Chains A and B, each alone.
Chain A
Amino acid sequence: MKNQLKFRFIFLALVGAFLLSTSFQNLHAQDVKKNKVRLKADYVKIMDGFSYLKISAGSKIKKQNTKVSNIELNIYNVLDDEKIKIGNVMTNMKGESKFIFKNLNKIKPDSTSTYNILISFKGNDSFKKATKRISFKNANIEAKLIKKDSINYITATLTDASSNKPITDESLDIQVQRLFRPLKIGEEFNNTDQDGTIIVPIEKGIPGIDGILTLEVVLNDNDDYGTVKTLIKAPLGTTIDDESTFNDRTLWSPRSKTPIFLLIFANLIIFGIWAIIIYLILNLLKISKSKI
């Protein structure tokens, strides 16, 4: 009798332990499946162009940083406690996306002229929901070229767009656009003066196609204003000749661009030889007909 009770107890204990572990397993499995998404966002403004948010989504999966692709992110304009949806984007295969502000004036800043944007991911089967808040002010850069004592300079003024006041003591980068990465010119730090202005000499001898240099003045990743960039074309470079033979008639170009000399001589040879061959075949006919 005692033994029977013992067996019942052991049986119930085992079943209980099994059910308990199963339910814990389920909970644990859900934890493993859902990963945390980390959102990063930078504000970029191109003068006379457009402003946009550069967003990237990543996650640490099995201790490895992984890009999170194909997730939908909603973008909101936050004003006090109010959230106004202004659009949405999908991340690409690199986990990146770009949200372009079609018109910045349509977004409302707060009382300090700061724009507050919320990026929200509502979560899915694989990832938990996530949000990222970014705040920035609107700044302008105006650049122009001047010449003093035979030296060419680029001068740029940084102002707050809402108050139109100069922004002082901020470093601006001056750089020339190149194929792979821009070429910096001037000092390492070109801080704006009390008028929000910098002046940097443009070195001679920088090569550019047709002598045109595309200069960039950049306020880089500023805490308040994000990245602001203006472009200006300067005919101050050393002219480089485009050595590409893409449009020329060369021995290595496609058949539509066969060199004329080759077209003439090759065809002369081909048609010359075949004309003689036809003449010889006609001679066979003549032999056949001239018995006498």
Chain B
Amino acid sequence: MKNFKTLVKDLAPKKFGKFDIIWTCFLVLIIIIGIVAYIDQLIKGQEVTNMRDYALWGIYISNFVFFVATSFVGSVTVAILRLTNNEWRTPLVRIAEIISVAAIVMAGITIMIDMARPDRLLNLFIHARLQSPITWDVFIIPTYILISLLLLYFPLIPDFAILKKYFKKKDPKLSKWYGKLSLNWTGSIAQKAIQTKSIRIIAIMIIPVGLLLQTIDAWLFSTTYRIGWDSTNFAPYFISGALVAGIGALVSVIYVVRKHKKLEYYITDFHFDKLGKLLVLACLTYLYFNINEYLIPAFTSKKGESIHLDTLFTGAYAPLFWSVTIIGLIFPIIILLFKKGRKPLPMFIVGLVVVVGSWWKRFVIVTPTLLHPFLPIQGVPESWHHYFPSLHEWLITVATLAMALLIITLLVRYLPVIPIQRTADELGLSENKIKNTES
């Protein structure tokens, strides 16, 4: 049986070990290489990419869509599980919130990378045309970043107060920082009332905002009247896909954090089993929308759409299309339907497969459609009819993924990955006996 002290000791952030430093340096190195490639792209222009008149959206946009999808995990695990009174969420929510923040921040950065002239970013606000889904995207992303930060921050306030005390002697400098972030938290009734109310508001608000974000992301495509995108199914298709990507990422990160921080006592097989069930539900929903998205056009398609579908089913993109569908979606469903498949290690492998599958799935959504416009462009070089990212695009994209992992790594380093106060309350270990049940 744990007492409050041991609980805080278990859950308080710990200094970087040797492995952590190597891992962080590795990520920083990848980011530096990416920044160099990006500076070169800024100097030479987007000529350094393989995007041309046909594939005018490439790997950057598919990467952006992946980040947006992954950020949905915050809405799902925190808000939905909270509103449905699923108590098992407690040790998982903080990591979900961290992933959410990292993913949505990187989505914002990635979309700027895709802009040939990022110095004109302000024009998107000054000359905003409210009919355009791009404008909605410009508004929703900063909004979601802020809500995700608030969702992460509010439940952290009591934990910061605990950490302030805990590090007072061990690391006064860090303790000072935690003190500032704790906003003079004493756990008073008034403070708890405001915090509880605020968290409830965010938990409710983040669901429609999260759905809006995914929907706008889908509408960016479905309002363009292009083969493969012109679909009323697209918004729910994207939302269900976001569930898969988000929960997949959550499972993978939780496994690594649990193992690395030795949190087996707090994050148990039971939690993985529950997450597994949630992931299989998400995968099944996504599979359903995939069938809708591809089967019905297979029946009703006209010439242009048939060419597009042939490219996916049997043509150049068939290996990728079937890989992301079978390996990235159907196999995880089969594995997760069995209890043994929902154990931590199989879940981790499934989570990784799902995340990789989700990333490539966005590539399959974005690229083949662009290569089959209604009006083929005349007189362009043969190479423009195909698209595979250039070295610059790969380096920059990998750097954005590394940046997301770095944000997660740093937040995991300095924040308690499991809510201390709430866990203590649930275990009845609080120093003061007033229960704080919000997180």
Chain A residues within 8 Å of B, Cβ to Cβ = 250-255, 258-259, 262-263, 266, 269-270, 273-274, 276-277, 279-281, 283-284, 286-292
Contact = CB atoms under 8 A, between A and B. Distances in A.
A279 B200 CA distance: 13
Contacts of A259: 131
A141 to B, nearest CB: 46
Q: Which of A250, A253, A288 has the most CB of B within 10 A?
A: A288
B157 A274 contact: no
Contacts of A273: 143, 147, 205, 209
A221 to B, nearest CB: 39
A253 B191 contact: no
A279 B127 CA distance: 28
The listed residue with most A CB atoms (<10 A of its CB), out of B128, B198, B205, is: B198
B14 interface: no
Contact of B190 (A255, A274, A276, A290): A290
Contacts of B212: 269
Interface stretch (B179-187, B320-328, B399-407, B423-431): B179-187
Nearest to B195: A287
Nearest to B185: A287
B200 to A, nearest CB: 11
Nearest to B153: A284
Given A255-B128, A255-B130, A270-B139, A277 B147 contact: yes
Nearest to B187: A291
Nearest to A292: B188
B143 A274 contact: yes
B192 to A, nearest CB: 9
A287 B131 contact: no
Interface of B: 127-131, 136, 139, 143, 146-147, 150, 153-154, 157, 183-186, 188, 190-191, 194-195, 197-198, 201-202, 205, 209, 212
Contact of A292 (B154, B186, B194, B198): B186
A288 B146 contact: no
Given A280-B201, A284-B183, A287-B195, A266 B130 contact: yes
Given A255-B127, A273-B205, A283 B184 contact: no
A270 B186 CA distance: 34
B190 A292 contact: yes
Contacts of B139: 270
B131 A253 contact: yes
B351 to A, nearest CB: 31
Given A263-B130, A288-B184, A277 B143 contact: yes
A283 B153 CA distance: 12
A242 to B, nearest CB: 22
A291 B188 contact: yes
Kindly list the 7 A-B residue pairs having the minimum CB-CB distance in the complex, ordered from nearest: A255-B129, A288-B183, A290-B190, A283-B198, A258-B130, A251-B131, A291-B186
A174 B243 CA distance: 70
Given A252-B131, A280-B198, A287-B195, 9 more contacts: A250-B131, A258-B129, A262-B130, A266-B130, A266-B136, A270-B139, A284-B153, A284-B198, A291-B191
B201 A276 contact: yes
A279 B183 CA distance: 16
A262 B132 CA distance: 11
